Amino acid sequence: MLDSILGGLQGMMQQPNLWIFFILFFLFIIVAYKVVKLFVRAAIVAAISAAFPFFANAFLGMSIPITLSNVLWFAMTGLEIFFVYHILVSIGKIAEFITKPFSKGKTKRVEKVIMIEKRKDKDEHKKGEEREER
């Protein structure tokens, strides 16, 4: 059995198409997981949004007519808001990734290193002056 596994691994090492297949399979799993996660969250948002007219009538004292068109309108509006929010967050993450090398945080770290080096130079200069005085 071990020979068949090792033989299979050796065969896989010699076939680059098989490696590409496994890489694509791995990427497919990641993308599919993210898409399913997004749709589950969207379904939850739609259900909560559809429940809003019932909540508003019961607890907020509003008089929203409970019709199929109103419930669907609230569900669709909630989905639109959710997807706009999701797109804006994605754009923000992309912009943050692109501008990360130019951020002030990196500049502050570089300035901190420069300040430490200047302090070391001053300390060494003071030690040199003290030695000359003796």
For the packed helices 16-59 and 68-99, what is the interaxial angle rounded to 10 degrees?
130
Helix (H, G, I), strand (E, B) or coil at 81: helix
Residue 11 binned pLDDT confidence (cut-offs 50, 70, 90) = low
Q: Residue 127's pLDDT is what?
A: 64
The greatest distance separating any two alpha carbons of the chain, rounded to the nearest whole angstrom, comes to 96
Q: Reply yes or no on whether the pLDDT at 132 is more than 70.
A: no
In angstroms, rounded to a whole number, what is the distance separating the alpha carbons of residues 134 and 125? 15
pLDDT in tens, 105-126: 555 566 666 777 777 776 666 6
Q: Residue 99's pLDDT is what?
A: 87
- Output 79 or 124, whichever has higher pLDDT: 79
95 HSE (CA, 13 A, CB side): 6
pLDDT in tens, 31-78: 999 999 999 999 999 999 999 999 999 988 888 899 999 999 999 999
In angstroms, rounded to a whole number, what is the distance separating the alpha carbons of residues 118 and 12? 57
Q: Reply yes or no on whether the pLDDT at 3 is more than 70.
A: no
In angstroms, rounded to a whole number, what is the distance separating the alpha carbons of residues 79 and 82? 5
Q: Residue 101's pLDDT is what?
A: 81
Q: Reply yes or no on whether the pLDDT at 90 is more than 70.
A: yes
Q: What is the arithmetic mean of pLDDT over 15-31?
A: 86
DSSP assignment, residue 101? G
